[in-house]
Amino acid sequence: MSATRITVNGDSPYDVVVGTGVLAELATLLRPGVRTVAVIRPETLPEIAGPVGAALSEAGYEVTDLPVPDGEQAKTVEVAAGLWSALGRHGVTRSDAVVGVGGGATTDLAGFVAGTWLRGIQVVLVPTTLLAMVDAAVGGKNGIDTPEGKNLVGTFLPPAGVLCELETLASMPRRDYVAGLAEIIKGGFIADPEILTLIEADPEAATRPDGPHTRELIERKIRVKADVVGADLREAGLREILNYGHTLAHAIEREEHYGIRHGEAVAIGMVYAAELSRLAGRADLVDRTRSILTAVGLPTTYQAGAWPHLRDHMRLDKKNRGAKQRFVVLDALARPGRLEGPSEELLEAAYKEICA
């Protein structure tokens, strides 16, 4: 076993355990007094969730298996309500726990259900995709979707711990793995440029779970997020920088009815944010953004005729304050800033720069 522990500070500190062969560490992340553990996992993931349940059973816990639909289809109030009913039937109390196993959609859902059941019980997350490991499972933001947008209903509940078993990445489809790289690259632009340097040195290696810098890239991105959310759990200020590229990304996801991978939408959104930064007289990192995303096989353009619909979707972005639209931009590499109330002309001009 080879494990790294990264502590996320704040009012409720917790560890993110990263490594290979680390499943035995799962029980150490649960707080004392737990009797029943409800394992929420995608119905398509029995081969990965099985060992999680077995490890918990061997540690003496009573395990309840709760399969849910895969992907964003799970993040609905109907699925959440079904899980609340299941927790009630199985007698899950305030001293018990939820363990969420799967990709970002599943960990979002598991955190939301844990945060709302009995007004909050502990949750441990076991992300199984690159995106979930470096982003969704770390930070304590949990949510479900509504017809009006993504993650508009949610909670802030820091997990009791996060366990990143790197061996699960080997079975990921290549396109899904590459999509997860978008969040790592985002971390390089907003906080840790060494991430960009490592990827640019060998882009092809960065697209492989067995690449020479895979673990370092994952740990660097987790540390970026840990530093930010440890200082600002509830997105009162600093945490907004993690939304770099996400305003347009979430709009694209909604426009595509969540048929596009989150990381692919974020990649397009980062190019848009870079164009906004340039046109607003801030940093000009457009070429580097396009270059690194293209090198790993991520998209950098979107369809020209979609702007009116995307603009409507963007008006529901969580960073907005009243009628004022707010965007995260870059004042320099690793120096994010905010662009408040940009003109419609500026927003459309930036979009024209990314049109296919």
Q: What is the pLDDT of residue 315?
A: 85
Q: Is 253 a catalytic residue?
A: no
Fold entry, domain 2-171: Rossmann fold (3.40.50)
- Which sign does the torsion angle of CA 102, 105, 106, 112 carry? positive
DSSP state of 132: I
To the query of whether residue 141 is one of the catalytic residues in this protein, the response is: yes
Residue 26, pLDDT score = 95
CA–CA gap between residue 128 and residue 6 (Å, rounded): 18
Quote the pLDDT of residue 320. Answer: 56
74 is in an annotated binding site: yes
pLDDT of res. 238: 85
Domain spans in the chain, listed from the N-terminal domain onward: 2-171, 179-202+211-352
Total-model pTM? 0.93
Task: Compute how many other C-beta atoms are within 10 angstroms of the C-beta atom of residue 265.
Answer: 27
237 is in an annotated binding site: no
Please tell me whether 107 is known to bind a ligand: yes
pLDDT of residue 322: 57
Give me 236's structure tokens. 């009162």
Confidence at residue 29, expressed as pLDDT on a 0 to 100 scale: 96
Q: Residues 6 or more apart from 249 whose CB is under 8 A from it?
A: 262, 265, 266, 268, 269
Active-site residue, from 186, 220, 225, 318: 225
- For the chain of 356 residues, list the mean pLDDT of each consecutive stretch of 10: 90 95 94 96 88 94 96 94 98 97 96 97 97 93 87 92 96 96 98 98 97 97 94 82 95 93 97 98 98 98 95 77 81 96 96 92
Three-state SS at 13: coil
Sheet of 14-20, strands arranged across: 2-8, 14-20, 161-165, 122-127, 97-102, 36-42, 62-68
pLDDT at 63: 97
Residue 90 known to be catalytic:
no
Catalytic residue among 221, 262, 313, 318: 262
Query: Is 221 one of the catalytic residues?
Result: no
The answer to whether residues 276 and 342 touch, using CB atoms and an 8 Å cutoff, is yes
Provide the phi-psi class of 268: left if phi over 0, else alpha when psi is between -120 and 50, else beta: alpha
Q: Is 225 a catalytic site residue?
A: yes
In this structure, CATH architecture of domain 179-202+211-352: Up-down Bundle (1.20)
